[in-house]
Amino acid sequence: MTLERRLAPLGAARLSALAAGMALFVGASQASAETVVKWLHLETVPAHLKMWEDIAAKYESEHSGVDIQLQFLENEAFKAKLPTLLQSDDAPHFFYSWGGGVLKQQAETGALMDLTEAMQADGGAWEKSYNPAAVKGLTFDGRISAVPFKMGTISFFYNKELFQKAGVKAEDIKTWADFLKAVETLKGAGITPIAGGGGDKWPLHFYLSYLVMRNGGQSVFENAKNNEGEGFLDPAIIKAGEQLAELGKLEPFQGGYLGATWPQTLGLFGDGKAAMILSFEHTEATQRANSGDGKGLAPENIGRFPFPAVEGGAGAISDTLGGLNGWAVTKNAPPEALDFLRYLTNAENERLMASIGMIVPVALGAEDGIANPLLRAAADQLAASTWHQNYFDQDLGPSVGRVVNDVSVEIVSGQMSAEEGARMIQDARELE
């Protein structure tokens, strides 16, 4: 019995410790295998790990000469180790990507395989099997840099019982002013309003990003991204920072939030110790996996609402921030890696993943597999999105993205003014 066949029964706490403390390989190399395909991902939810294992096992059963080896790293370890791995002999054959400027830079280093010809062969059958917007979002200068996998959007999730206890109604939170009022009401009821992950920094950049989008709209962000006009010194961006500082002054997060990792933040929400979390579409599953008892909040106790509008802002509440994720293939990957990727992301497998609440699929026809109400709400929001923006820290590339994350934490914690933060981001953009 190989390691991957033993992985599924592991408890969430044990699994999390394994993922954080070491690279967890699923699938020991089989002596009879002719070709090894190395797959690098980040995942901690037991049911999701089981799904990956089952898909790989089925493929192996139909391709006796191929051994799919899955390696899972915790989010921060993944980001820290990937650049070194890509330059080493231990580079994975394909790996999880958030797209945007980070993916573009990886492609420009020559570390990745250009997938354009492979995906456009046979009349483009492979490329045409996905949502066109997903392919476009992973394409730079006309060249496809990753195989589409899923789309997602960041939104607020809330504990219905805690909202009811405080007398807060989610349906009344339409504007930023409404949101701040809800925070104050929750605090007045002795409830921590928001679970915040300042230790990893990027979870707090969701607030600054959305506020920039709501205040300035797409044109302001695109100008800043392209270093045009006033760039990140645009008044709408500075106003977004001021609103983030306003939130910070209310002390909405749990004590010690500046040191909290994202798994700890999810666990806090899952344990019922905070009323809200600004998080990913699959939060129901991840809060459960990171909770103290491994059960977390019951699905019926979790509600969801979009990031509120800003009165007078140019952005719309239907504009969404979130991921367009794919699988980047390294330059020395064997043909079997591409064949497996085509299999992994076909409509049948994406439908299976959607059915257990893993993803909002991008394979055409797979969306009918979404059964989870919260995931369905995310899919519906994406379908109606008037502008879907990739995470700022990914879209702007690693150097600028790092500054965006740093600035978000500094502003919300009162260590930096909004104007100082905007200047830091602009300086980083100009240095690129």
Task: Answer with the residue of higher pLDDT: 22 or 350.
Answer: 350
How far apart, in whole angstroms, are the C-alpha atoms of residue 139 and residue 133? 10
pLDDT of residue 333: 97
Residues 268, 272, 276, 278: is their CA dihedral positive or negative?
Answer: positive
For residue 185 the two structure tokens come to 């009401």
The answer to whether residues 196 and 253 touch, using CB atoms and an 8 Å cutoff, is yes
Q: What is the pLDDT of residue 5?
A: 29
pLDDT at 16 over 80: no
**What percent of the chain shows pLDDT beyond 70?**
92
Which pLDDT score, from 0 to 100, does residue 42 have? 86
Three-state SS annotation for 172-200: HCCEHHHHHHHHHHHHHCCCCCECCCCCC
Beta strands in 234-279 (DSSP E): 276-279
The Cα–Cα gap between 17 and 409 comes to 27
214-242 average pLDDT score: 97
What pLDDT is attached to residue 148?
Answer: 96
Of 131-135, 208-212, 243-247, the range with the lowest mean pLDDT is 131-135
pLDDT for 311-320, tens place per residue? 999 999 999 9
DSSP string, 359-395: -EE-BTTGGGG---HHHHHHHHHHHT-SEEE--HHHH
How confident is the model at residue 45, as a pLDDT? 84
Across residues 158-169, what is the average pLDDT? 98
CATH, domain range 155-321+397-430? 3.40.190.10
Tens-digit pLDDT profile for residues 238-292: 999 999 999 999 999 999 999 999 999 999 999 999 999 999 999 999 999 999 9
CATH class assigned to 35-151+323-386: alpha beta
Are 288 and 66 a contacting pair, CB within 8 Å? no
Give the model's confidence band at 377: pLDDT under 50 very low, under 70 low, under 90 confident, else very high: very high
**DSSP helix/strand/coil, 11:** coil
pLDDT digits (tens, 9 = 90+) for 186-199: 999 999 999 999 99
CA atoms of 4 and 15, how far apart (whole Å):
13
Q: Which residues contact 89 (CB under 8 A, 6 or more apart)?
A: none
pLDDT digits (tens, 9 = 90+) for 409-431: 999 999 999 999 999 999 999 99
Separation CA 237–CA 230 (nearest Å): 10
Which one, of 161, 358, 153, lies nearest residue 271 by Cα?
Answer: 161
The SS3 of residue 10 is coil
Q: Would you call 421 helix, strand, or coil by DSSP?
A: helix
**Do the beta carbons of residue 159 and residue 297 sit within 8 Å?**
yes
**What is the predicted pLDDT for the residue at 207?**
98
| pLDDT at residue 24 greater than cutoff 70 | no
- At residue 44, the pLDDT reads 75
> pTM of the entire structure?
0.84
**Lowest-pLDDT range of 4-8, 264-268, 329-333:** 4-8
- Higher model confidence: residue 92 or residue 42? 92
Domain spans, the chain:
35-151+323-386, 155-321+397-430
- pLDDT higher for 32 or 382? 382
CB hemisphere CA count around 293 (13 angstroms) = 8
The SS3 call for residue 292 is coil
pLDDT tens for 27-76 read 444 444 589 999 999 877 889 999 999 999 999 999 999 999 999 888 88
Tokens coding 266: 């999810």
* Averaged confidence pLDDT in the chain: 91
